[in-house]
Structure 1
Amino acid sequence: MTLALPSEFLGLPIAHRALHDVTDGRPENSRAAIRAAIDAGYGIEIDLQLSADGHAMVFHDYHLERLANGTGSINQLTRKQAQAISLKGGDGEGIPDLAEVLKLVDGQVPLLIEIKDQDGQLGPDIGLLERATADALMGYRGSVALMSFNPNSTAEMVRLAPDLPCGIVTSAYDFAEWPELTEPICDRLRDIPDFDRTGACFISHEAGDLSRSRVQELRDRGVPVLCWTINSLAEERAARVFADNVTFEGYLSPLPG
Protein backbone atom coordinates (compact mmCIF):
# COMPACT_ATOMS: atom_id res chain seq x y z
CA MET A 1 0.00 0.00 0.00
CA THR A 2 1.43 3.39 -1.02
CA LEU A 3 1.67 5.93 1.78
CA ALA A 4 0.18 9.40 1.52
CA LEU A 5 2.32 12.51 1.80
CA PRO A 6 1.50 14.12 5.18
CA SER A 7 -0.51 17.33 4.99
CA GLU A 8 2.25 19.46 6.55
CA PHE A 9 4.31 19.02 3.37
CA LEU A 10 1.51 20.75 1.50
CA GLY A 11 0.67 23.44 4.05
CA LEU A 12 4.08 24.88 4.92
CA PRO A 13 6.37 26.37 2.24
CA ILE A 14 9.62 24.39 2.11
CA ALA A 15 12.95 26.20 2.44
CA HIS A 16 15.31 24.92 -0.27
CA ARG A 17 18.54 23.62 1.30
CA ALA A 18 17.11 25.19 4.47
CA LEU A 19 16.71 28.94 4.94
CA HIS A 20 20.16 29.79 3.60
CA ASP A 21 21.71 33.21 3.10
CA VAL A 22 25.49 33.51 3.23
CA THR A 23 25.24 37.27 3.70
CA ASP A 24 23.81 36.40 7.12
CA GLY A 25 26.17 33.51 7.85
CA ARG A 26 23.78 30.76 6.77
CA PRO A 27 25.25 28.53 4.03
CA GLU A 28 23.19 25.95 2.14
CA ASN A 29 22.30 22.86 4.18
CA SER A 30 24.02 24.29 7.25
CA ARG A 31 22.94 24.04 10.85
CA ALA A 32 22.51 27.83 10.88
CA ALA A 33 20.17 27.68 7.87
CA ILE A 34 18.24 24.82 9.44
CA ARG A 35 17.83 26.69 12.73
CA ALA A 36 16.63 29.77 10.83
CA ALA A 37 14.01 27.74 8.98
CA ILE A 38 12.80 26.19 12.23
CA ASP A 39 12.58 29.60 13.90
CA ALA A 40 10.61 30.97 10.93
CA GLY A 41 8.23 27.99 10.88
CA TYR A 42 9.08 26.66 7.40
CA GLY A 43 9.45 23.12 6.21
CA ILE A 44 13.02 22.21 5.32
CA GLU A 45 14.53 20.53 2.28
CA ILE A 46 18.03 19.07 2.57
CA ASP A 47 20.33 17.02 0.33
CA LEU A 48 22.32 13.89 1.12
CA GLN A 49 25.64 12.66 -0.24
CA LEU A 50 27.56 9.54 0.79
CA SER A 51 30.81 9.72 2.74
CA ALA A 52 33.73 7.37 2.09
CA ASP A 53 32.86 5.42 5.24
CA GLY A 54 29.18 5.02 4.45
CA HIS A 55 27.44 7.90 6.24
CA ALA A 56 24.72 10.20 4.91
CA MET A 57 26.19 13.71 4.80
CA VAL A 58 23.99 16.81 4.44
CA PHE A 59 25.57 18.45 1.41
CA HIS A 60 24.28 19.26 -2.06
CA ASP A 61 27.22 19.13 -4.47
CA TYR A 62 29.36 16.15 -5.47
CA HIS A 63 32.46 18.31 -5.14
CA LEU A 64 33.50 20.57 -2.28
CA GLU A 65 34.78 23.68 -4.04
CA ARG A 66 31.57 25.74 -4.40
CA LEU A 67 30.25 25.29 -0.90
CA ALA A 68 33.12 24.31 1.41
CA ASN A 69 36.71 25.24 2.13
CA GLY A 70 38.11 22.13 0.51
CA THR A 71 38.75 20.45 -2.82
CA GLY A 72 37.79 17.12 -4.35
CA SER A 73 34.73 14.91 -4.00
CA ILE A 74 32.78 14.57 -0.79
CA ASN A 75 32.54 10.82 -1.30
CA GLN A 76 36.32 10.61 -0.83
CA LEU A 77 36.03 11.94 2.73
CA THR A 78 35.13 10.08 5.88
CA ARG A 79 32.37 11.50 8.05
CA LYS A 80 34.89 12.97 10.50
CA GLN A 81 36.90 14.53 7.70
CA ALA A 82 33.78 16.13 6.19
CA GLN A 83 32.66 17.41 9.58
CA ALA A 84 36.04 19.12 9.95
CA ILE A 85 35.76 21.04 6.64
CA SER A 86 34.08 24.40 7.14
CA LEU A 87 31.27 25.65 4.93
CA LYS A 88 31.90 28.86 3.00
CA GLY A 89 30.02 31.89 4.29
CA GLY A 90 29.34 30.38 7.69
CA ASP A 91 30.72 30.70 11.20
CA GLY A 92 33.20 27.86 10.81
CA GLU A 93 30.77 24.98 11.13
CA GLY A 94 31.62 21.85 9.18
CA ILE A 95 29.51 19.63 6.94
CA PRO A 96 26.84 17.95 9.09
CA ASP A 97 25.67 14.38 8.82
CA LEU A 98 22.02 13.36 8.76
CA ALA A 99 22.04 12.16 12.36
CA GLU A 100 23.11 15.62 13.56
CA VAL A 101 20.42 17.32 11.52
CA LEU A 102 17.71 14.99 12.79
CA LYS A 103 18.69 15.84 16.37
CA LEU A 104 18.55 19.53 15.51
CA VAL A 105 15.17 19.42 13.77
CA ASP A 106 13.70 17.02 16.32
CA GLY A 107 10.26 16.96 14.70
CA GLN A 108 9.73 20.71 15.00
CA VAL A 109 9.05 21.13 11.26
CA PRO A 110 8.62 18.70 8.34
CA LEU A 111 11.84 17.55 6.71
CA LEU A 112 12.04 16.79 2.98
CA ILE A 113 15.18 14.81 2.18
CA GLU A 114 16.63 14.54 -1.32
CA ILE A 115 18.97 11.62 -1.89
CA LYS A 116 21.50 12.65 -4.52
CA ASP A 117 22.10 10.23 -7.37
CA GLN A 118 25.16 8.04 -6.77
CA ASP A 119 24.93 6.09 -10.06
CA GLY A 120 25.86 8.99 -12.33
CA GLN A 121 23.23 8.18 -14.94
CA LEU A 122 20.15 7.89 -12.69
CA GLY A 123 20.51 4.14 -13.05
CA PRO A 124 20.52 1.06 -10.80
CA ASP A 125 23.97 1.38 -9.20
CA ILE A 126 22.65 2.58 -5.85
CA GLY A 127 22.14 1.24 -2.36
CA LEU A 128 24.78 2.46 0.10
CA LEU A 129 23.40 5.98 0.57
CA GLU A 130 19.86 4.65 0.78
CA ARG A 131 20.87 2.21 3.52
CA ALA A 132 22.76 4.91 5.42
CA THR A 133 19.70 7.16 5.19
CA ALA A 134 17.33 4.48 6.43
CA ASP A 135 19.68 3.64 9.31
CA ALA A 136 19.93 7.29 10.40
CA LEU A 137 16.15 7.71 10.27
CA MET A 138 15.41 4.65 12.38
CA GLY A 139 13.50 5.81 15.44
CA TYR A 140 13.07 9.42 14.27
CA ARG A 141 9.61 10.61 15.26
CA GLY A 142 9.35 13.76 13.19
CA SER A 143 7.60 14.22 9.87
CA VAL A 144 9.93 13.10 7.04
CA ALA A 145 9.54 12.53 3.31
CA LEU A 146 12.23 11.20 0.98
CA MET A 147 12.84 11.82 -2.71
CA SER A 148 15.40 11.46 -5.47
CA PHE A 149 15.88 12.23 -9.14
CA ASN A 150 16.89 8.60 -9.48
CA PRO A 151 13.71 6.48 -9.50
CA ASN A 152 15.76 3.44 -8.52
CA SER A 153 16.76 5.28 -5.36
CA THR A 154 13.12 6.09 -4.65
CA ALA A 155 12.15 2.44 -5.10
CA GLU A 156 14.97 1.36 -2.78
CA MET A 157 13.87 3.80 -0.07
CA VAL A 158 10.30 2.49 -0.36
CA ARG A 159 11.75 -0.98 0.27
CA LEU A 160 14.04 0.06 3.13
CA ALA A 161 11.66 2.50 4.83
CA PRO A 162 8.13 1.38 3.95
CA ASP A 163 6.66 3.55 6.71
CA LEU A 164 7.99 6.79 5.15
CA PRO A 165 6.50 8.61 2.12
CA CYS A 166 8.80 8.65 -0.89
CA GLY A 167 8.69 10.63 -4.12
CA ILE A 168 10.53 11.35 -7.35
CA VAL A 169 12.18 14.66 -8.22
CA THR A 170 11.18 15.29 -11.83
CA SER A 171 12.20 17.63 -14.59
CA ALA A 172 11.65 18.79 -18.15
CA TYR A 173 14.94 16.97 -18.83
CA ASP A 174 16.05 19.40 -21.49
CA PHE A 175 19.14 17.59 -22.76
CA ALA A 176 21.08 20.86 -23.03
CA GLU A 177 20.70 21.33 -19.27
CA TRP A 178 21.65 17.75 -18.38
CA PRO A 179 25.09 17.24 -19.98
CA GLU A 180 25.88 14.39 -17.60
CA LEU A 181 23.02 12.31 -19.05
CA THR A 182 22.48 10.82 -22.47
CA GLU A 183 19.67 12.08 -24.66
CA PRO A 184 17.80 8.73 -24.51
CA ILE A 185 17.83 8.86 -20.70
CA CYS A 186 16.42 12.40 -20.77
CA ASP A 187 13.76 11.38 -23.27
CA ARG A 188 12.73 8.44 -21.13
CA LEU A 189 12.59 10.23 -17.77
CA ARG A 190 10.73 13.28 -19.07
CA ASP A 191 7.35 11.57 -18.90
CA ILE A 192 7.87 10.20 -15.38
CA PRO A 193 7.48 6.55 -16.43
CA ASP A 194 8.59 5.09 -13.10
CA PHE A 195 6.06 6.70 -10.81
CA ASP A 196 3.82 3.70 -10.26
CA ARG A 197 6.45 0.97 -10.21
CA THR A 198 8.58 2.74 -7.57
CA GLY A 199 5.79 3.11 -5.03
CA ALA A 200 6.20 6.88 -5.03
CA CYS A 201 3.39 8.97 -3.55
CA PHE A 202 4.42 12.47 -4.73
CA ILE A 203 6.62 14.31 -7.18
CA SER A 204 8.67 17.50 -6.93
CA HIS A 205 8.79 18.95 -10.42
CA GLU A 206 10.85 21.65 -12.13
CA ALA A 207 8.98 24.93 -11.67
CA GLY A 208 9.20 26.09 -15.27
CA ASP A 209 7.66 22.87 -16.56
CA LEU A 210 4.70 22.48 -14.21
CA SER A 211 2.06 22.80 -16.91
CA ARG A 212 3.33 19.62 -18.64
CA SER A 213 0.39 17.30 -19.32
CA ARG A 214 1.97 14.33 -17.53
CA VAL A 215 2.50 16.40 -14.38
CA GLN A 216 -1.08 17.60 -14.36
CA GLU A 217 -2.33 14.09 -15.15
CA LEU A 218 -0.68 12.87 -11.97
CA ARG A 219 -2.09 15.79 -10.03
CA ASP A 220 -5.57 15.01 -11.37
CA ARG A 221 -5.09 11.50 -9.98
CA GLY A 222 -4.59 13.03 -6.55
CA VAL A 223 -0.78 12.83 -6.55
CA PRO A 224 0.69 15.80 -4.63
CA VAL A 225 2.90 17.99 -6.82
CA LEU A 226 5.67 19.95 -5.13
CA CYS A 227 8.05 22.08 -7.21
CA TRP A 228 11.61 23.37 -7.35
CA THR A 229 12.96 26.02 -7.11
CA ILE A 230 10.90 29.18 -6.64
CA ASN A 231 12.89 32.44 -6.38
CA SER A 232 10.26 35.15 -5.93
CA LEU A 233 6.72 35.77 -4.80
CA ALA A 234 5.65 36.31 -8.43
CA GLU A 235 7.09 32.91 -9.39
CA GLU A 236 5.32 31.36 -6.42
CA ARG A 237 1.94 32.75 -7.44
CA ALA A 238 2.39 31.36 -10.94
CA ALA A 239 3.57 27.96 -9.69
CA ARG A 240 0.70 27.49 -7.26
CA VAL A 241 -1.74 27.35 -10.19
CA PHE A 242 -0.15 24.01 -11.11
CA ALA A 243 1.47 22.77 -7.88
CA ASP A 244 0.37 22.01 -4.35
CA ASN A 245 3.39 23.52 -2.62
CA VAL A 246 6.68 25.25 -3.35
CA THR A 247 10.32 24.81 -2.48
CA PHE A 248 11.72 28.34 -2.28
CA GLU A 249 14.90 30.33 -1.77
CA GLY A 250 16.08 33.92 -2.04
CA TYR A 251 12.92 35.44 -0.52
CA LEU A 252 10.49 34.63 2.30
CA SER A 253 7.49 32.65 1.15
CA PRO A 254 4.25 33.65 2.91
CA LEU A 255 3.24 31.30 5.70
CA PRO A 256 -0.38 30.11 5.94
CA GLY A 257 -2.71 32.00 8.22
Structure 2
Amino acid sequence: MHDDLKALIRQPIAHRGRHDGNKTVWENTLSAFQAAIDGGFAIECDLQYVADATPVVFHDDDMERLCNMKGDVRAKSSSELGLVSIGGTKDKIPSLKQLLRLVKGRVPLVLELKGREGDDEGFASSVLEELEDYGGPVALMSFDQWLLRDLKELESPRPAGLIAEGVRPEDFIAHEQVMQLGLDFISYNIMHLPNDYITLQRSKNIPVISWTVRNAKQASHSAANADQITFEAFDPS
Protein backbone atom coordinates (compact mmCIF):
# COMPACT_ATOMS: atom_id res chain seq x y z
CA MET A 1 0.00 0.00 0.00
CA HIS A 2 1.22 3.51 -0.88
CA ASP A 3 2.67 5.28 2.18
CA ASP A 4 0.22 8.17 1.73
CA LEU A 5 -2.68 5.68 1.88
CA LYS A 6 -1.30 4.17 5.07
CA ALA A 7 -1.23 7.69 6.53
CA LEU A 8 -4.77 8.36 5.28
CA ILE A 9 -6.31 5.62 7.43
CA ARG A 10 -4.06 6.10 10.46
CA GLN A 11 -6.15 8.69 12.30
CA PRO A 12 -9.65 10.26 12.07
CA ILE A 13 -10.05 12.89 9.34
CA ALA A 14 -11.53 16.28 10.26
CA HIS A 15 -14.17 17.24 7.67
CA ARG A 16 -13.26 20.69 6.28
CA GLY A 17 -10.90 21.01 9.22
CA ARG A 18 -11.87 20.93 12.89
CA HIS A 19 -14.52 23.63 12.82
CA ASP A 20 -17.37 24.10 15.30
CA GLY A 21 -20.29 24.23 12.89
CA ASN A 22 -19.36 27.74 11.74
CA LYS A 23 -20.03 29.36 15.11
CA THR A 24 -16.59 30.73 15.87
CA VAL A 25 -14.30 28.46 13.86
CA TRP A 26 -15.48 28.19 10.26
CA GLU A 27 -15.08 25.34 7.82
CA ASN A 28 -12.15 25.25 5.39
CA THR A 29 -10.24 28.00 7.19
CA LEU A 30 -6.68 28.11 8.44
CA SER A 31 -8.10 28.28 11.98
CA ALA A 32 -10.01 25.03 11.44
CA PHE A 33 -6.92 23.40 9.96
CA GLN A 34 -4.77 24.53 12.87
CA ALA A 35 -7.33 23.08 15.30
CA ALA A 36 -7.14 19.74 13.49
CA ILE A 37 -3.35 19.79 13.67
CA ASP A 38 -3.52 20.61 17.39
CA GLY A 39 -5.86 17.64 17.91
CA GLY A 40 -3.67 15.28 15.90
CA PHE A 41 -6.30 14.72 13.21
CA ALA A 42 -5.92 14.42 9.47
CA ILE A 43 -7.55 17.18 7.40
CA GLU A 44 -10.13 16.89 4.63
CA CYS A 45 -10.86 20.01 2.60
CA ASP A 46 -12.32 21.20 -0.70
CA LEU A 47 -10.51 22.76 -3.64
CA GLN A 48 -11.98 25.12 -6.23
CA TYR A 49 -10.16 26.25 -9.38
CA VAL A 50 -10.42 30.01 -9.63
CA ALA A 51 -9.90 32.73 -12.23
CA ASP A 52 -6.10 32.90 -12.09
CA ALA A 53 -5.79 29.11 -12.58
CA THR A 54 -5.00 28.59 -8.88
CA PRO A 55 -6.56 26.06 -6.46
CA VAL A 56 -8.14 27.65 -3.39
CA VAL A 57 -9.77 26.01 -0.38
CA PHE A 58 -13.53 26.58 -0.55
CA HIS A 59 -16.57 24.31 -0.70
CA ASP A 60 -19.46 26.15 -2.34
CA ASP A 61 -19.71 27.42 -5.90
CA ASP A 62 -21.43 30.57 -4.63
CA MET A 63 -19.97 32.80 -1.89
CA GLU A 64 -23.19 33.75 -0.15
CA ARG A 65 -23.40 31.10 2.61
CA LEU A 66 -19.81 31.44 3.76
CA CYS A 67 -18.94 35.05 2.92
CA ASN A 68 -22.30 36.87 2.91
CA MET A 69 -21.76 38.08 -0.64
CA LYS A 70 -23.17 36.92 -3.93
CA GLY A 71 -20.95 35.71 -6.72
CA ASP A 72 -19.28 32.68 -8.22
CA VAL A 73 -16.05 31.86 -6.38
CA ARG A 74 -14.49 30.84 -9.71
CA ALA A 75 -14.99 34.31 -11.15
CA LYS A 76 -12.42 35.79 -8.76
CA SER A 77 -8.66 35.41 -8.50
CA SER A 78 -6.90 33.80 -5.56
CA SER A 79 -5.51 37.19 -4.51
CA GLU A 80 -9.01 38.71 -4.51
CA LEU A 81 -10.38 35.78 -2.52
CA GLY A 82 -7.50 36.10 -0.08
CA LEU A 83 -9.05 39.41 1.03
CA VAL A 84 -12.55 38.00 1.58
CA SER A 85 -13.62 37.26 5.17
CA ILE A 86 -15.24 33.92 5.95
CA GLY A 87 -18.19 34.28 8.32
CA GLY A 88 -17.15 37.78 9.33
CA THR A 89 -14.05 36.37 11.06
CA LYS A 90 -10.40 37.22 10.57
CA ASP A 91 -10.04 34.12 8.41
CA LYS A 92 -9.87 34.71 4.67
CA ILE A 93 -10.31 32.22 1.83
CA PRO A 94 -6.99 30.34 1.75
CA SER A 95 -5.12 29.07 -1.28
CA LEU A 96 -3.84 25.50 -1.45
CA LYS A 97 -0.35 26.96 -1.16
CA GLN A 98 -1.27 28.60 2.18
CA LEU A 99 -2.74 25.34 3.46
CA LEU A 100 0.42 23.41 2.61
CA ARG A 101 2.58 26.11 4.21
CA LEU A 102 0.53 25.79 7.43
CA VAL A 103 0.41 22.02 7.67
CA LYS A 104 4.03 21.27 6.72
CA GLY A 105 3.43 17.53 6.68
CA ARG A 106 2.40 17.36 10.34
CA VAL A 107 -0.88 15.57 9.56
CA PRO A 108 -2.22 13.87 6.42
CA LEU A 109 -4.27 15.87 3.91
CA VAL A 110 -7.26 14.63 1.92
CA LEU A 111 -8.00 17.10 -0.88
CA GLU A 112 -11.35 17.00 -2.67
CA LEU A 113 -11.36 18.54 -6.14
CA LYS A 114 -14.75 20.20 -6.71
CA GLY A 115 -15.28 19.91 -10.44
CA ARG A 116 -17.42 21.57 -13.08
CA GLU A 117 -17.61 19.60 -16.28
CA GLY A 118 -16.28 21.56 -19.22
CA ASP A 119 -14.59 24.13 -16.95
CA ASP A 120 -11.78 22.15 -15.34
CA GLU A 121 -9.00 22.23 -17.89
CA GLY A 122 -5.73 22.54 -15.99
CA PHE A 123 -7.30 21.94 -12.54
CA ALA A 124 -5.72 18.55 -11.87
CA SER A 125 -2.33 19.62 -13.19
CA SER A 126 -2.35 22.80 -11.08
CA VAL A 127 -3.01 20.78 -7.92
CA LEU A 128 -0.22 18.34 -8.71
CA GLU A 129 2.12 21.24 -9.43
CA GLU A 130 1.40 22.80 -6.03
CA LEU A 131 2.11 19.43 -4.38
CA GLU A 132 5.35 18.81 -6.27
CA ASP A 133 7.70 19.88 -3.48
CA TYR A 134 5.39 19.09 -0.55
CA GLY A 135 6.82 16.52 1.83
CA GLY A 136 3.77 15.38 3.77
CA PRO A 137 1.17 12.66 3.08
CA VAL A 138 -1.62 13.70 0.69
CA ALA A 139 -4.51 11.88 -0.96
CA LEU A 140 -6.67 13.38 -3.73
CA MET A 141 -10.32 12.59 -4.38
CA SER A 142 -13.39 13.71 -6.29
CA PHE A 143 -16.97 12.85 -7.19
CA ASP A 144 -16.07 13.85 -10.75
CA GLN A 145 -14.76 11.15 -13.05
CA TRP A 146 -13.17 13.58 -15.53
CA LEU A 147 -10.93 15.01 -12.80
CA LEU A 148 -9.99 11.54 -11.59
CA ARG A 149 -9.20 10.60 -15.18
CA ASP A 150 -7.02 13.69 -15.51
CA LEU A 151 -5.12 12.78 -12.33
CA LYS A 152 -4.46 9.28 -13.62
CA GLU A 153 -3.46 10.46 -17.09
CA LEU A 154 -1.02 12.86 -15.44
CA GLU A 155 0.39 9.91 -13.49
CA SER A 156 -0.31 11.49 -10.13
CA PRO A 157 2.30 10.39 -7.59
CA ARG A 158 -0.36 10.85 -4.90
CA PRO A 159 -3.20 8.33 -4.34
CA ALA A 160 -6.49 9.24 -6.04
CA GLY A 161 -9.90 8.12 -4.80
CA LEU A 162 -13.59 8.19 -5.68
CA ILE A 163 -16.13 9.92 -3.46
CA ALA A 164 -19.37 7.97 -3.78
CA GLU A 165 -22.73 7.02 -2.31
CA GLY A 166 -25.77 4.94 -3.16
CA VAL A 167 -27.08 1.42 -2.58
CA ARG A 168 -28.68 0.53 -5.93
CA PRO A 169 -27.08 -1.90 -8.38
CA GLU A 170 -26.86 0.87 -10.97
CA ASP A 171 -24.89 2.98 -8.46
CA PHE A 172 -22.39 0.17 -8.02
CA ILE A 173 -22.02 -0.27 -11.79
CA ALA A 174 -21.27 3.46 -12.16
CA HIS A 175 -18.76 3.35 -9.30
CA GLU A 176 -16.97 0.36 -10.79
CA GLN A 177 -16.63 2.09 -14.15
CA VAL A 178 -14.78 4.94 -12.45
CA MET A 179 -12.69 2.64 -10.25
CA GLN A 180 -11.46 0.97 -13.45
CA LEU A 181 -9.30 4.07 -13.94
CA GLY A 182 -7.02 2.44 -11.37
CA LEU A 183 -8.10 4.45 -8.35
CA ASP A 184 -6.55 3.78 -4.97
CA PHE A 185 -9.32 4.29 -2.40
CA ILE A 186 -12.99 5.14 -1.90
CA SER A 187 -14.71 7.70 0.33
CA TYR A 188 -18.31 6.53 0.94
CA ASN A 189 -21.44 7.97 2.55
CA ILE A 190 -21.77 6.53 6.06
CA MET A 191 -25.55 6.34 5.63
CA HIS A 192 -25.06 3.86 2.76
CA LEU A 193 -22.82 1.40 4.60
CA PRO A 194 -22.62 -1.55 4.59
CA ASN A 195 -23.27 -2.55 1.02
CA ASP A 196 -22.12 -5.34 -1.30
CA TYR A 197 -19.95 -3.08 -3.43
CA ILE A 198 -17.89 -1.71 -0.56
CA THR A 199 -17.59 -5.14 1.01
CA LEU A 200 -16.13 -6.38 -2.27
CA GLN A 201 -13.68 -3.45 -2.51
CA ARG A 202 -12.43 -4.04 1.01
CA SER A 203 -11.91 -7.73 0.21
CA LYS A 204 -9.56 -6.50 -2.55
CA ASN A 205 -7.66 -4.36 0.01
CA ILE A 206 -9.01 -1.07 -1.35
CA PRO A 207 -9.04 1.36 1.62
CA VAL A 208 -12.44 2.86 2.42
CA ILE A 209 -13.06 6.02 4.42
CA SER A 210 -16.57 7.12 5.43
CA TRP A 211 -18.25 10.54 5.34
CA THR A 212 -19.57 12.41 7.22
CA VAL A 213 -19.60 10.90 10.72
CA ARG A 214 -21.25 13.14 13.33
CA ASN A 215 -21.51 11.07 16.51
CA ALA A 216 -20.03 8.10 18.37
CA LYS A 217 -22.76 5.73 17.18
CA GLN A 218 -21.96 6.47 13.54
CA ALA A 219 -18.25 6.13 14.30
CA SER A 220 -18.85 2.66 15.72
CA HIS A 221 -20.91 1.74 12.65
CA SER A 222 -18.12 2.99 10.39
CA ALA A 223 -15.49 1.00 12.28
CA ALA A 224 -17.30 -2.20 11.28
CA ASN A 225 -17.61 -1.21 7.62
CA ALA A 226 -14.74 1.14 6.68
CA ASP A 227 -11.11 1.79 7.50
CA GLN A 228 -11.39 5.35 8.80
CA ILE A 229 -13.91 8.12 9.42
CA THR A 230 -14.27 11.65 8.10
CA PHE A 231 -15.89 13.41 11.05
CA GLU A 232 -17.34 16.69 12.27
CA ALA A 233 -19.38 18.02 15.22
CA PHE A 234 -17.93 15.65 17.84
CA ASP A 235 -14.58 14.54 19.26
CA PRO A 236 -13.72 11.06 17.98
CA SER A 237 -10.85 10.70 20.44
Normalised TM-score (structure 2): 0.93
Question: What is the alpha-carbon distance in structure 1 between the residues aligned to residue 167 and residue 58 of structure 2?
Answer: 23
Residue 128 of structure 2: aligned partner: 134
Change (3 A) 1:96 1:81: same
What are the within-5 Å matches in structure 2 for residues 7-18 of structure 1?
7-18=6-17
- Asked whether the 8 Å contact 1:70–1:85 carries over to 2, the reply is no
SS in 1 for 2:66: coil
Residue 84 of structure 1: aligned partner: 83
What are the within-5 Å matches in structure 2 for residues 1-257 of structure 1?
3=2, 5-21=4-20, 25-88=24-87, 90=89, 92-119=90-117, 126-172=120-166, 187=170, 191-254=174-237
Question: What is the alpha-carbon distance in structure 1 between the residues aligned to residue 142 and residue 15 of structure 2?
Answer: 14
- Asked whether the 8 Å contact 2:172–2:197 carries over to 1, the reply is no
Deviation at 1:128, TM superposition (A): 2.4
Change (3 A) 1:225 1:5: farther
> 2:62 is aligned with what amino acid?
H
CA RMSD of aligned residues (A): 2.1
Deviation at 1:93, TM superposition (A): 1.9
Per-residue deviation, residues 7-46 of structure 1 (Å, max 9, x unmatched): 2211200000000115663110000000000011000001
Q: Which runs of 5+ in 2 are unaligned?
A: none
SS in 2 for 1:54: coil
Deviation at 1:211, TM superposition (A): 1.1
Change (3 A) 1:64 1:220: same
Q: Which runs of 5+ in 1 are unaligned?
A: 175-185
Normalised TM-score (structure 1): 0.86
